[in-house]
Structure 1
Amino acid sequence: MKVTYIGNVLTLLAGSALSHTSASPDVPYPPHVAKLMNLDADPCEDFYEFACGTWTAQTQLTPAEARRSYSFSTVQDRNDEIVKQIMQAGGDDEVSRLFASCTDTASMDRLGTAPLQPDLERIQTIQTVADVFQVAGELRRKGLIFLSESAAYPDMKDATRNVLYLMPGTLSLPDKSYYLDDANWAKYGPPLTSYVKTIFKLAGLEAHADQAADVVSKVEKACAAAWLQRAWFKSAANTYSPTTVGDAIRDYPLLFSSYLTGTGALHTTALSRSSKVINFAKPLLEALKQLVATLTVDELRTYLTYRWISENAPSMTTEFRDAWFQLFKKTLEGVKEPEPTWKTCVATVTANLPNLVGKQYFDKTSSVEAETTAKQMVKLVEAAMADNINNAQWLDADTRAQALLKLSNVSDLIGHSGHVEQFDFVIQADAFRANVNNIASAKYKQMLAKLGKRVDKTQWDMPASAVNAYYSRPMNQMVFPIGIFQNPFFDPSFAPAENFGAIGSVVGHELTHGFDSGGRMYDGDGNQNAWWSAASTAEFERRADCMRTQYSKCDIVGESGSVVATVNGNNTITENIADNGGIKLALEAYHAYIRDLPAPQNIKNDKLFFVSFAQNWCAKYRDEAVKKMVATGVHTPPMWRVRGVVMNSAEFATTFQCAPNKPMNPSNKCAVW
């Protein structure tokens, strides 16, 4: 739905769920909030400890957990239980059958490597390097991402149309630093080598296991050396190199032509030699082209064999699953033991059938109150953003006008997707690998069918059960699954301060993404467009650089009490801008909401607001999970998502009466919006 401003938005909220209260400034923290807090801590010294200290002290990760968040994990666990009940209900629908096949580990053990054999035999027929990439393309239809990838997405400069993107593939380890840093490779290289050898032996290829381990190390270390730094992808100009199908065939005969011949994409009627292709990472694709030229057919065939076995390992026999767990969960995330099969399968089925699962979840849990609240809160936060833009004196008049135009064009999807998956095959209750391959193939065909077509703005990228939300740049759209509008993010019985601090800050965060260092490159129609003046751009970057520098000084203390990583302010800049802007918008929206309420509901409780925001991010992480998050993620780890935001908030310092230059009230504050 398109959000519009209708007169005085506050009149729409009379008697709504937002107007309930359960706390007052005299007793600012209700029991369910206070029990997480360390009230002996000084909020001006460490607000994260103040808001979350008792919870972090009392919470222990289970052996199957790499991380746990008070808010996100609590809601996701509850949602997973609901989805499990739906999947176990005994219905003969696609969701129940896929779940049954996923949990049927006995059938996986009984089948052994049989599901792998036809494709392994196909790989063994490879005679040329071109064959390698054609077969890799054939396996892409079953879900494999190899050294390159092509997919349909909205054209960044004509967001109404889907075009083909040429992109790099993936590697086994999370980041190039895992390969190129000597200490990291000494730690993670041997487990990778062991994994390769193990799965080759399990696949009946023991004679090739040692050679395969050497090849995988050689290929992936070379790829890692060519890989671009993550900050490179932050530039919209870097990731938009338009070409044509004909030129891509000429320039990338293997990574594009042979690969897309295998996928079938080059045979679709939507593509001609003049069709537009966007090279998403041209320097990397050029480097990969040069790298491939140095590898033999045998090496590439062996590497493709490894990638296909590894792709299938989580859905094969117990031995395969254990090998996969040892590398990807135990080594790379610090997890001690696998999570219950049902929980893995809830996530897997949801990932494969997000709309069907989402609809069933929504039908079981839908709340008119939650949906109404979501829509109301979005209106209030957007009104706050309009005020923020109007009051931003550093914006010149033309840039301000364009920013307001973009804001007025923001659309919102709330609840669940109106689409459901439909296939021309039957999902079997005892053939999980075949099911997953068939679903991947069907989705690939559906993706190709989008080429050249108008973008459908009603499509969702998340299921309704997700405890998450997102902003889409080409859609200029915010999406809020109903799964996140649950306690402790939202509850009708909560005081307005609590709801606005918790879920309101999430809404503000997503809206700010439209105006962060990446989002600002897109106009109100979702197109990359230089709508910022030079002067406003320079001031924006000055403000963003302040934040980049600030967050790059944030050390993360691990389980042992020592520093295990440091935040990368460049990689996390868009999220940090959104965090800081989001809390400001939520606070302004909260104040606007209570302004016209009768006493005593119109009395501010900003302490509860800030604590409720902070408790979104009460979390525990294993050291390896933190390292992986910092190396690969765009989000700052939770403790600094709290501290960084309040350090930059004058309103926070006033609320908690923090003296100047206290740790949570530095004199140098960073603010973009």
Structure 2
Amino acid sequence: MKYVRTDLDDNSEMSGSLATNSSATGGSSMAAMQSDDSVLPVGSPGNGVSQPRRITHLHRLGVVIKRCSYLEKLALLAVLVLLLIVLILACMLYNVRLTASSGRLGYANQLYNVTASANSTCTHPVCVQLTARLLSYMNESADPCEDFYEFSCGLFRQRVTIPAGRQQANVFSLQSGANEILLRSLLESASPSVSADADINAELRSNLAALYRSCLNESAREEAGLQPLLDLVAPVGPWAACNATARAYKDGWTIADGLLRSAVFSAAHSENPPFFYLGVTVDIFNTKRRAVHLSQSSTLLLRDDYVRNRTANLAALAESLEELAKLFGLTMTAQDVRNIIELERKIAEISLPEWKRRGSLLMGNSTIKQLQEDFPCINWTSVLLTLLSNSSYAITNDTPVNLHDRSFFEQLCPLLNQLSSDAEQTRLVNNYLLVRSIWPLLPFTTPAAYRIPEKLTYRIRGVHGTEAPWKICVQSVDGIFGFPLGKLFVDSYFLRDSHSAIERLIDSLMAAFNASLADARWMDEATRRQAVGKLDAIRRLVGYPHYFNNATELRRELGGYRLRPDRYFDNVVQIQRESTNRALSRLSEPVRLTFGMTPQSVNAYYSPSFNAIAFPAGILQQPFYRPQFPAYVSYGAIGAVIGHEITHGFDDSGRHHDRDGNKREWWSNGTVAAFDRATDCIARQYEAFTVDGNVQVSGQLVLGESIADNGGLKMAYRAYKQQQKPDEPLLPYLGDRYSREQVLFLAYAQTWCELITPEALRQLITVNTHPPGQMRVWGPVANMPEFGRAFGCRPGSKMNPIDKCSVW
């Protein structure tokens, strides 16, 4: 389970994960940089000056700067920004101390009465930057005992704006944006050409540069046009709406045949296929082997848009589909489009809401034979044999199936049978499969095509403006070719010493959770012993995949691509197909633990099937971690992240998996009943929270993440107190006003500062298992007596209620 909720921009149910923010742009910024590098001498024929002029020191400085490389300019800019921050902070410190000396320090010191100590102050630039950020987001006029989020993040909305083309801004997205600048420098400094005998690192740099430049090469994309996409989807048909294949469609196309071809096509080119998702993954009932995974898929819009009949969003979708039909020359009428939307409504109505599907709670164990008997409307064996034709993974009647959403498939067969009984309905399904085949690939074609899903997203999520071309293409490369890009990121920017430091932090958080297990009086001893065994068995992934350090394995995993700087669509298709073929070819190999996120991801996760926690390099940096951070800041920031992921192994979903990741019931009935009472308290507490006027969440939808947030902060605080040292350096200015414990809570709270459009917020709460940022602060601090003591909150205040919820 991911630590931060996935932005709908980054996991769009409209465009599919591979189509995320990957629209192309015109003109390479590299060309502009190269033109700036040519400096003509004064008086030369090309500079328009006929008489020599005096060369000043300022002019010489300008010439030197112009001759600097991109990275040198970036470094210079960073130095200037840091200097500016130091100057601003100095002014802030002077102004505040002047205010304090006149007896007007304000609410904070009047309440806490924290006196300056003889402890040393951290004067490292990292600490100065940290203090400046903490202060810049805080609203010290707010009462932390009534609203700790407002106290910690009240000025965030004044300091930060939602970037153009995005629906939200938060600490995670800000750091991701900073990473994108670093990734851009890597992509623009690499050459797309490489010799045939180049080593794997040179090959990766070359392919990354070619993919990035092909994305920026809008003229080449315009020249290629839409034909490559039409050629790609043609074998999935024939299509009734395409003049070239309409006759072949009439010769006998069937829904069964269309679903088979669509499933195989979607396996390579879309992670959001029509009707259902079919793949092969780790068997959650026996994690030493693989199994077929079958679950409901998603519609173009969110399920609630159809079920709640959100007419504005449905009208926007109809407009987009009509535009798509016109652009591709499809013989679809306005009525055809309305019929497609009505079909999506029927699919949405038989689909389960996200709060019911969360985790593996509804996952059942079956076989191919049983699947065929239960749901005979689709020839599952034929679909799988076609899908796995290039794999050595054998499909038999006894092949295990992890079936998610059984009730969906019980209703899908009657729907498909109804659609198959009528010629006009069959044509509707044909049109629908064509649209769903084209949709996820639109961002990789012409500007007119990729703006169709982009415009729809903007309309229904309240997004304004357009991101810069380089940002769109960096995000595209990151999404399509993320691990090769991650290799460059790790080599250039990851502090390798961080690995051992994070391992020590994990050790301390594991010890804290072990103590929490000992304190859980509602657990019987037999269950507790097994829980301790599971905790001890948790595996760790830190930084990046192990094969990054082995050239042979690196080439096996990421080598062999031949990308071109003028063929964006072809590049994307090559990567999709080759990645799918490699994944299929390894299905017969032993199951092994691998990183499920790219190294540059600003996120973390827990894998129930592997009983593993993972922390990519992208989150092991500011504002979550730096070696120079005082311990109380590290524990409040990255420590709470680590504790959160550990707790996921024992939340309402993770508890169903044993130490080996197998899904089975290993808790006693009495312990389960006590756990359910404790978690019900959390669910009711979060349902009572309200943000943005009247927005509330489903307590069951956010339950797992809320349990993990509460447990993560408790473990972080406990681990810090177990190793706290009396001579820890204080942060400048903050140290004589707030205790170390208070700053720990502040560091935690500021990881959840955010801005989000009202439209996006109302969509997120229906599908996302992560609650809004305010709730991720309110809930955990309100449930910790230590917070109330640290801030001197009166019992019964909002952040120190009499009745608290506690699980771990």
Query: What's the counterpart of residue 587 of structure 2?
Result: 451
> Letter of the aligned partner of 1:139 in structure 2?
F
Per-residue deviation at 1:130? 2.0
Contact residue 333 and residue 624 of structure 1 kept, 8 A:
yes
**Alignment of 1:577 onto 2:703:** no
Indicate how the Cα distance of structure 1 residues 423 and 203 shifts in structure 2: closer, same or farther if over 3 A, else same. Answer: farther
Deviations 1:287-330 (A, max 9, x none): 122212222321111001111221221112111122211112x1
Query: What's the counterpart of residue 84 of structure 1?
Result: 184
1:602-641 map, 5 Å: 605-641=740-776
Cα distance in 2 for residues equivalent to 1:245 and 1:349: 41
Cα distance in 1 for residues equivalent to 2:597 and 2:121: 31
Per-residue deviation at 1:246? 7.2
> Letter of the aligned partner of 1:319 in structure 2?
A
Specify the SS of the correspondent of 1:566.
coil
Per-residue deviation at 1:612? 0.5
Cα distance in 2 for residues equivalent to 1:139 and 1:235: 26
Per-residue deviation at 1:147? 1.5
Which region of structure 1 is more displaced relative to structure 2, 342-351 or 512-521?
342-351
> Letter of the aligned partner of 1:354 in structure 2?
G
Per-residue deviation at 1:486? 1.1
Indicate how the Cα distance of structure 1 residues 49 and 235 shifts in structure 2: closer, same or farther if over 3 A, else same. Answer: closer
**Alignment of 1:516 onto 2:648:** no
Query: What's the counterpart of residue 198 of structure 1?
Result: 323
Query: What's the counterpart of residue 30 of structure 1?
Result: 131
Deviations 1:603-645 (A, max 9, x none): 9611000000000011100011111210110000011111111
**Alignment of 1:143 onto 2:272:** no
Match of 2:356 among 222, 232, 238: 232
Which region of structure 1 is more displaced relative to structure 2, 414-423 or 330-339?
414-423
Deviations 1:509-564 (A, max 9, x none): 1110011100011111111121111111111000000011110112220xxxx43x
Match of 1:529 among 644, 660, 664: 664
Cα distance in 2 for residues equivalent to 1:282 and 1:251: 10
Contact residue 647 and residue 712 of structure 2 kept, 8 A:
yes
Per-residue deviation at 1:242? 1.4
> Letter of the aligned partner of 1:321 in structure 2?
Y
Match of 2:312 among 187, 191, 208: 187
Cα distance in 2 for residues equivalent to 1:168 and 1:209: 28
Contact residue 22 and residue 30 of structure 1 kept, 8 A:
no
Query: What's the counterpart of residue 215 of structure 2?
Result: 102
Cα distance in 2 for residues equivalent to 1:146 and 1:240: 22
Query: What's the counterpart of residue 16 of structure 1?
Result: none
Cα distance in 1 for residues equivalent to 2:603 and 2:501: 16
Specify the SS of the correspondent of 2:332.
helix
Larger radius of gyration: 2
| Gap runs ≥5 in structure 1 | 1-18
> Letter of the aligned partner of 2:723 in structure 1?
Y
Contact residue 608 and residue 649 of structure 2 kept, 8 A:
yes
Deviations 1:344-388 (A, max 9, x none): 222222222222111110000121332222111111101101111
Which region of structure 1 is more displaced relative to structure 2, 620-629 or 269-278?
269-278
Per-residue deviation at 1:209? 3.9
Contact residue 21 and residue 494 of structure 1 kept, 8 A:
no
Query: What's the counterpart of residue 591 of structure 1?
Result: 721
Per-residue deviation at 1:250? 7.5
Cα distance in 1 for residues equivalent to 2:136 and 2:362: 48
Query: What's the counterpart of residue 7 of structure 1?
Result: none
Contact residue 214 and residue 564 of structure 2 kept, 8 A:
yes
Deviations 1:187-221 (A, max 9, x none): 2110010011001110111x314243122212100
**Alignment of 1:218 onto 2:342:** yes
Cα distance in 2 for residues equivalent to 1:76 and 1:260: 38
Indicate how the Cα distance of structure 1 residues 141 and 476 shifts in structure 2: closer, same or farther if over 3 A, else same. Answer: closer
Query: What's the counterpart of residue 178 of structure 1?
Result: 305
Deviations 1:404-441 (A, max 9, x none): 00000011111111344436552222222222222222
Cα distance in 1 for residues equivalent to 2:279 and 2:369: 13
> Letter of the aligned partner of 2:337 in structure 1?
A
Identity of aligned residues (%): 28
> Letter of the aligned partner of 2:563 in structure 1?
I
RMSD value over aligned CA atoms? 2.4
User: Runs in 1 of length 4+ with deviation above 6 angstroms?
Assistant: 599-604
Per-residue deviation at 1:247? 4.3
| Gap runs ≥5 in structure 2 | 1-118, 193-205, 240-247, 420-424, 548-553
Specify the SS of the correspondent of 1:395.
coil
> Letter of the aligned partner of 2:605 in structure 1?
Y
**Alignment of 1:310 onto 2:439:** yes
Contact residue 514 and residue 520 of structure 1 kept, 8 A:
yes
Match of 2:401 among 258, 277, 297: 277
Match of 2:536 among 390, 399, 408: 408
Cα distance in 2 for residues equivalent to 1:55 and 1:267: 51
Query: What's the counterpart of residue 54 of structure 1?
Result: 155
Query: What's the counterpart of residue 506 of structure 2?
Result: 378
Cα distance in 2 for residues equivalent to 1:450 and 1:290: 36
Contact residue 648 and residue 665 of structure 1 kept, 8 A:
yes
Which region of structure 1 is more displaced relative to structure 2, 54-63 or 601-610?
601-610
